[in-house]
């Protein structure tokens, strides 16, 4: 009779000898197991997911949103109404977890080291005949760096908070809801795009794109 021992793991028989570390043949997540509550826990999780209470809200169509700036009280009701009408698109910025590889023993792992936010917020607007929204943003840029003096203002005097609010219908055809609000902190306009004038484009609306720098963002919501 052989001095080695056989240990059944799942559907397989693995022959162990004294040269094999016992930790390498213990049940793991890669082993087909029905002991220790693994399969029962998975079944419970599936049932809880299927039986989630509440209403299925469907998909969000990104053609309805509000953009607000808290600078000087939001810029006034006139600016907010015009921005709602002329704002054509805005992007919700991304978020990255920075990491570094670490190897102590065995395969290396990624260790989080911090958080970063990539890119700028891009806001695209149509131009009204009075250039009202365009002038509002240009005045803001002139307050950051003086147009005549080139003096740079203090950071806390031009950086502000931006609110991006997706809007969804409540289903009654009359009211809208805001399930989430993206709060972008320390926002200021960095780049104003050029405006193209062309005699051949009489039927097209003129527009401009504003790139807004920011420090970080988060969101708030009334739903769990």
| Tens digit of each residue's pLDDT (9 = 90 or more) over 108-153 | 999 999 999 988 999 999 999 999 999 999 999 999 999 999 999 9
Residue 102: pLDDT over 60: yes
Most confident of 2-11, 24-33, 58-67, 169-178: 58-67
Q: Check residue 16 and give its pLDDT.
A: 45
Residue 48: pLDDT over 70: no
Comparing 6-10, 60-64, 121-125, 171-175, which segment has the lowest mean pLDDT? Answer: 6-10
Q: Is the pTM of this model over 0.85?
A: no
Q: What band does 14 get if pLDDT is binned at 50, 70 and 90?
A: very low
Which residue is it, tokens 């502000």? 160
Q: Check residue 74 and give its pLDDT.
A: 52
Q: What band does 77 get if pLDDT is binned at 50, 70 and 90?
A: confident
The answer to whether 145 and 151 have CB atoms below 8 angstroms apart is yes
Kindly report the average pLDDT of the chain as a whole number: 78
The answer to whether 139 and 153 have CB atoms below 8 angstroms apart is no
Q: Which of 218, 86, 223, 97 is nearest to 164 (CA)?
A: 218
Domains of the chain listed by start with CATH number: 8-50 (no CATH), 65-220 (2.30.110)
Q: Longest Cα pair distance anywhere in the chain, in angstroms?
A: 97
User: Which helix or strand (DSSP H or E) is residue 89 part of?
Assistant: strand 87-90
Q: Check residue 60 and give its pLDDT.
A: 75
The alpha-helical segments, DSSP class H, found in 32-182 are 38-50, 77-86, 132-144
The whole-number average pLDDT for the span 196-206 is 81
Residue 23: pLDDT over 80: no
Q: Which of 14, 42, 44, 41 is nearest to 27 (CA)?
A: 14
């Amino acid at each position: 009779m052989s001095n080695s021992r056989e240990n059944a793991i799942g559907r397989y028989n693995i022959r162990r000898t004294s040269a094999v570390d016992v930790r390498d043949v213990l049940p793991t997540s890669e082993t087909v197991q029905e002991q220790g509550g693994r399969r029962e826990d998975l079944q419970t999780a599936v049932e809880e997911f299927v039986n989630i209470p509440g209403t299925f809200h469907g998909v969000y169509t990104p053609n309805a949103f509000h953009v607000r700036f808290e600078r000087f009280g939001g810029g006034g009701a006139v600016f907010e109404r015009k921005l709602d009408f002329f704002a054509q698109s805005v992007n919700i910025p991304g978020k990255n977890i920075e990491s570094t590889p670490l190897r102590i023993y065995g395969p290396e792992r990624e260790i989080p080291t911090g958080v970063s936010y990539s890119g700028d917020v891009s806001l695209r607007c149509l131009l009204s005949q009075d250039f009202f929204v365009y002038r509002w943003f240009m005045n803001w840029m002139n307050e950051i760096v003086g147009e005549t003096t080139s003096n740079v203002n203090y950071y806390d005097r031009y950086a502000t908070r931006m609110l991006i609010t997706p809007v969804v219908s409540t289903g009654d055809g009359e009211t809208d809801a805001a399930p989430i609000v993206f709060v972008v902190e320390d926002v200021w306009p960095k780049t104003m795009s050029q405006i193209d004038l062309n005699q051949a484009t009489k039927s097209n609306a003129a527009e401009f794109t504003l790139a807004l720098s920011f420090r970080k963002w988060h969101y708030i919501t009334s739903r769990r």
